[in-house]
Chains A and B, each alone.
Chain A
Amino acid sequence: MGLTAERKAYLEKLCGKFRRDVVDALYKAQTGHPGGSLSVCEILTTLYFEKANVDPQNPEKPDRDRIVLCKGHAAPMLYRVLAEKGFFPVEEMKTLRRLNTRLQGHPSVKHTPGVDLSTGPLGAGLSAALGMALGLRLSKTGARVYAVLGDGDVNEGMVWEACMSAVKFKADNLVAIYDWNRVQLDGKSADIMPQGDMEAKFSAFGWRCLTCGGHDIKSLCDAIDKANAYPDGRPVMILADTVKGKGVSFMEGQNTWHGKAISEADHKRAAAELGGD
C-alpha cells in the first residue's frame, strides 16, 4: 500500500500537533525528556498510524503487532500517539508524571492501555522484543514486533547479544528502528561512545540494514514495507536518521535538552515555533 500525498500530509499535520502537545505536557509537568520525545515523533506516528496492526478497541488482542519503545524516556511522545489512536483521552496528557497518573515517567504495561512492554532501563528492550517475536511466531499469529532503539540503548552490550540471538533464531518478524540522532544524555555519541560505522556493525552481526529519513514519513513507510517484505529470515535494522529535539530550533542536537524542565520563556519560544495555538 503506497502512502498517498493526502495521507502523508495528514500524518505530517498530526506530527506537528503531537510535538506541540508533548512540549506543552512537558512544560506543565516541569520534568521529563523533550529531546528524545521530539526525535521519535515520526517513527512512532508511522508505526501506529500506518504500519502496525493495533486496535484501541481491543488493546489486548493476541495477534496484534507489538511495539517496544526501548528508549522508554521518550514516553511522552508514545502517550500522545496512543491517545490520538484512541487508547485513552488526549486530556490525560495533562497528568503526565503526576501522582496517580496512568502516564508514568516511563512506559508501564500495568498503567497504560496500548503499552506492550514496561521500559526505562536502556539496553534490555531489544532482547525482550526478540522474545516476543519468537513467541508470536510459535503461536502462528503472524504478528510482527517493532523495537525502537536509541543511541544510549545501543551502547549497552545486551543489545549486541540480542543482535546475535535474533540472527541465530532467524527472527524474521522482528524489525528494529534505530532513532539515530547521535546524541545521548551527557553529550554527542561521538564524545560519549563513538559509533564508527554502525551500518557495517549491524550488518556484520548478520542483520539487514536499511537507512531512511527518520522525520520523513514516506521514507519511514518505504523502509518498513521493505523490511516486512524480505523473505529470507533475517532481522532488519532500520537506521532512521533523526535529530534530537527535532522541531524546536534551540533544542535540536543539544544533549542539554535531554531531560531538562522547560522554562516559561523557553516554552513560549518553542510554542511559537511549533504553532498550533
Chain B
Amino acid sequence: MPRRNWGAIEMAKAIREVYGEALVKYGRDNPDVVVLDADVSASTRTALFQAACPERFFNVGVAEANMAAMAAGFASVGKIPFINSFATFVTTLALLPARIFGSYSKLNVKFMGAYGGLSDAYDGPSHHAIEDVAIMRALPNFRVYVASDEALTDWLVKHAIESEGPMYIRLSRDVFPSVYGSDTAFEDGNGKVLRDGKDVTIVACGVMVGFALEAAKALALEGIDAKVVDMFTIKPLDEELLLVSARTTGAVVTAEEHSVVGGLGGAAAETLAAAGTLVPMGFVGLADCHAECGSYKELLSKYRLDVSALVAKVRETVGRKG
C-alpha cells in the first residue's frame, strides 16, 4: 500500500482500498447488493468484493455504458447496483444511462467514480476527472458526494446501500489526510464543521478538506481566523450551513480538486447569490484547463490545489471584505 506523508498528517490507506473493503463489509450480507466493474476491478478494488461474493459481481469488460444500463436493469428488479470505473469514464461514457435511468427514472443506481480529480496522476488528463461533479450535479434527482477521508468513504458506502435513489460518489486512487475519527456520525445533506472561525469560511471537499485544515493553521499565524467546512454532500448542498457561515464570517473560499466551473464552487455561488448573501468569494480549483501527467503531489502544487494556494486565495478574498 502506498503511504503518503501530507506534511504533518499521515494516513495508511488509499481511498480506493477503503472503498473496496467497505463494499465487502456492508455488501457481503446484503443479498441485494450487486457490483459491476468494467475491466478495472484491480484498480477500483472491487476485486475485493468479487473475491467475497463472486455470484454478485459482474465484470462486463471495457463497456461502461453497457455496465450503467445493466445497473438500471438490476435496480428495476430490486437490486442495489454499484457501477465502477474511473470517475471520468463513469461520468462520460455512462452518462446517458445515468440520465435516462437514474436521473429521469429515479432508479436506485450507485455510480462510483474511482480515481477522482487528478489522483490518477501519471496517466494524465485523459484519465483525470476534473468535471465529473459538475456533470453529475446537473442531473435532477442524482445525489452527489465527494469522499474526503477514510471514515467518510466507509460511511458513504453504507449510506448508498441504505438510502434509495441515484447517487454519484467520487472516490480517489490516493491516500488522503485523515480528518475524522472512525466513530464519526454523518448525515445526508449536512456538511461538517471541522474548525470554527470568524473571518472567512473555507468550504472544501475531497482531498482539499485536509489541506483546508492545514491552511487554517497557517492563516491563524497571520491573524486570519478561518472556519473550515467539509461540504462532502455536494447535492443536496447544506445550504443552511453555507448561508450561516457566509453571514457570520463575511467571506467564502471554496476548495475542490475539480474545475472551477460548475462544481462545489459553482454550487456555493448559486446558493449565496440566490439568497442575496453577497460576500467576497474565492474559488480554489483547476482554472478551466486540463492538467498534465506527473506525480500527484507535483500536480496539486503546479495547478494550485494545495495548502499554499488555499492560503493565498483566502488572504486575497479576506482582503476584499468591506
Interface on A for B, CB 8 Å cutoff? 29, 31-32, 72-73, 97-101, 104-106, 108, 111, 118-123, 152-153, 155-157, 184-186, 189, 191-193
Q: Indicate whether A105 sits within 8 Å of B61 (C-beta atoms), given known contacts A97-B294, A185-B43, A186-B41.
A: no
Instruction: Tell me which residues across on chain B come within 8 A of A192, comparing CB atoms.
Output: 39, 59, 61
Bound Cα distance A100, B292 (Å): 8
User: Is B40 within 8 A of A193, CB to CB?
Assistant: no
Looking at chain A's contact residues, is the secondary structure mostly helix, strand, loop, or mixed? loop
A-B pairs with beta carbons under 8 Å apart, 13 shown: A72-B126, A98-B293, A98-B294, A99-B294, A101-B293, A106-B126, A118-B126, A119-B126, A152-B61, A156-B62, A157-B65, A186-B37, A186-B59
Bound Cα distance A189, B295 (Å): 31
User: Is A193 within 8 A of B60, CB to CB?
Assistant: yes
Nearest CB on B from A225, distance (A) = 31
Nearest CB on A from B30, distance (A) = 24
User: Is A106 within 8 A of B127, CB to CB?
Assistant: yes
User: Is B63 within 8 A of A121, CB to CB?
Assistant: no
Tell me if B240 is interfacial: C-beta within 8 Å of chain A: no
Bound Cα distance A100, B89 (Å): 25
B31-48 interface bits toward A, Cβ cutoff 8 Å, 1 = contact, 0 = none: 000000101111100010
User: Is A155 within 8 A of B61, CB to CB?
Assistant: yes
Bound Cα distance A185, B89 (Å): 15
Instruction: Tell me which residues across on chain B come within 8 A of A121, comparing CB atoms.
Output: 88-89, 92-93, 126
Instruction: Tell me which residues across on chain A come within 8 A of B125, comparing CB atoms.
Output: 104, 108
Instruction: Tell me which residues across on chain B come within 8 A of A193, comparing CB atoms.
Output: 39, 59-63
User: B89, B127, B302: which has the most chain A beta carbons within 10 Å?
Assistant: B127
Nearest CB on A from B317, distance (A) = 28
User: Is A184 within 8 A of B122, CB to CB?
Assistant: no
5 nearest A-B residue pairs (beta carbon): A120-B126, A193-B61, A99-B294, A105-B124, A155-B61
Assuming A111-B292, A119-B126, A186-B39, what are 18 further A-B pairs, CB within 8 angstroms? A32-B122, A99-B294, A99-B298, A100-B294, A101-B292, A101-B293, A105-B127, A120-B127, A121-B88, A152-B61, A155-B61, A156-B63, A157-B63, A185-B42, A186-B42, A186-B47, A189-B61, A193-B61
CB-nearest residue of chain A to B298: A99
Q: Indicate whether A155 sits within 8 Å of B89 (C-beta atoms), given known contacts A99-B292, A105-B124.
A: no
User: Is B123 within 8 A of A106, CB to CB?
Assistant: yes
CB-nearest residue of chain A to B291: A99
User: Is B43 within 8 A of A104, CB to CB?
Assistant: no
CB-nearest residue of chain B to A72: B126
Chain B contacts with A in 28-83, Cβ cutoff 8 A: 37, 39-43, 47, 59-63, 65-66
CB-nearest residue of chain A to B41: A186
Q: Within the complex, which residue of A105, A118, A122, A152 is in contact with B123, where a contact is CB–CB below 8 Å?
A: A105
CB-nearest residue of chain A to B38: A155
Nearest CB on B from A201, distance (A) = 14
User: B42, B43, B124: which has the most chain A beta carbons within 10 Å?
Assistant: B124
Instruction: Tell me which residues across on chain A come within 8 A of B293, comparing CB atoms.
Output: 97-99, 101, 104-105
User: Is B62 within 8 A of A153, CB to CB?
Assistant: yes
User: B41, B65, B89, B126: which has the most chain A beta carbons within 10 Å?
Assistant: B126
User: Is B62 within 8 A of A123, CB to CB?
Assistant: yes
B82-125 interface bits toward A, Cβ cutoff 8 Å, 1 = contact, 0 = none: 00000011001100000000000000000000000000001111
User: B37, B40, B41, B292: which has the most chain A beta carbons within 10 Å?
Assistant: B292
Tell me if B299 is interfacial: C-beta within 8 Å of chain A: yes
User: Is A104 within 8 A of B292, CB to CB?
Assistant: yes
Nearest CB on B from A88, distance (A) = 16
Q: Indicate whether A152 sits within 8 Å of B62 (C-beta atoms), given known contacts A185-B40, A185-B43, A192-B39.
A: yes
Nearest CB on A from B130, distance (A) = 14
Q: Within the complex, which residue of B47, B66, B127, B295 is in contact with A99, where a contact is CB–CB below 8 Å?
A: B295
Bound Cα distance A153, B93 (Å): 13
User: Is A122 within 8 A of B124, CB to CB?
Assistant: no
Bound Cα distance A106, B63 (Å): 20
Instruction: Tell me which residues across on chain A come within 8 A of B59, comparing CB atoms.
Output: 186, 191-193
Instruction: Tell me which residues across on chain A come within 8 A of B62, comparing CB atoms.
Output: 122-123, 152-153, 155-156, 184-185, 193
Bound Cα distance A122, B62 (Å): 8
User: Is B124 within 8 A of A106, CB to CB?
Assistant: yes
CB-nearest residue of chain A to B66: A157
Bound Cα distance A109, B32 (Å): 45
Bound Cα distance A185, B61 (Å): 9
Instruction: Tell me which residues across on chain B come within 8 A of A104, comparing CB atoms.
Output: 124-125, 292-293
Bound Cα distance A118, B123 (Å): 13
Instruction: Tell me which residues across on chain A come within 8 A of B41, comparing CB atoms.
Output: 186
Chain B contacts with A in 274-308, Cβ cutoff 8 A: 292-295, 298-299, 302
Instruction: Tell me which residues across on chain B come within 8 A of A157, comparing CB atoms.
Output: 63, 65-66
CB-nearest residue of chain B to A98: B294
